[in-house]
Amino acid sequence: GAVVSQHPSRVICKSGTSVKIECRSLDFQATTMFWYRQFPKQSLMLMATSNEGSKATYEQGVEKDKFLINHASLTLSTLTVTSAHPEDSSFYICSARPRDYGYTFGSGTRLTVV
């Protein structure tokens, strides 16, 4: 139980376009989800906390207008990278925390902006 599904696993987009990444909790309801970014050979950095039915909470230094987060239901949060540029290329991972479990992570999305 407690599975988080993340799609797509890989995406390549042209510079200037937008990309949407979906994160779904398959067998539990998640009022809160977390979005992380991971650069090669580095740790996970929390970008924002997604809250169902309300605005996301962004970490310091994260551009909220560039990384749009929508948490419209108890099982779905989306991260949209707007006007993507090569420096946005990274590995993005979502996470949720079912009660009584440790945090559960999606399988990640490798974004490459060309």
CB nearer other proteins, residue 30 or residue 84: 30
Tell which residue, 31, 30, 11, has the closest CA to residue 20: 11
Q: Does 54 bind other proteins (CB under 8 A)?
A: no
Q: Shortest approach of other proteins to residue 108 CB, angstroms?
A: 5
Interface stretch with other proteins, choices 11-19, 46-54, 65-73, 81-89 (CB under 8 A)? 46-54
What is the spatial distance between Cα 85 and Cα 98, in angstroms, rounded to a whole number? 34
112 residue type, one letter: T
Give the number of other CB atoms < 10 A from CB of residue 81: 23
Q: How far apart are CA 73 and CA 104, in angstroms?
A: 18
Q: C-beta of 98: minimal distance to other proteins in Å?
A: 7
Residues that bind other proteins (CB under 8 A): 4, 6, 30-32, 34, 41-44, 46, 49, 51, 91, 93, 95-99, 101-108, 110
